[in-house]
Homo-oligomer: A and B are copies of this chain.
Amino acid sequence: MTYDGRHLLADLYGCPVLDDVALVETALRAAADSAGATVIGLHLHHFGDGQGVTGVALLAESHMSIHSWPEHGYAAVDIFLCGARHDPAAALDALCRHLAPTRISQQLVRRGDI
């Protein structure tokens, strides 16, 4: 077995539109596609007009999530993928093409000594 769990945490600042559920869904699907990951469920919640969105994609390879605070132009992203052929950085690039942050802070954490 090649587990190779990689968990990328990214803070996205300066995003112009973060209260749009369809945009969050599109960004998550594009991220999964870019990483070659398989979506087994996608769940979205909008906290109200002009308010934040939570989106989580359940993947065969773990999960991806976006939580947004439009009033701050801020989105918290995590991309957790197992399997060496799935690239969290490619997923983040795809997300950023849709969410258009002006600044990104990120941290990659290796998961699971198995």
Interface residues of A (CB under 8 A from B): 1, 3, 5, 7, 9, 11, 13, 40-41, 43, 45, 47, 54, 56, 58, 60, 62-63, 65, 67, 69, 71-72, 74, 76, 78, 80, 82, 105, 107, 109, 111-114
Q: For chain A, what secondary structure do more than half of its interface residues adopt (helix, strand, loop), or is it mixed?
A: strand
Candidate in A3, A13, A40, A54 with the most chain B CB atoms within 10 angstroms: A54
Q: A40-B45, A74-B112, A76-B111 are in contact. List 17 more A-B contacts (CB 8 A).
A: A3-B72, A5-B76, A40-B54, A41-B43, A43-B58, A54-B62, A56-B56, A56-B58, A56-B63, A56-B65, A62-B67, A62-B76, A63-B67, A65-B80, A72-B114, A74-B114, A78-B80
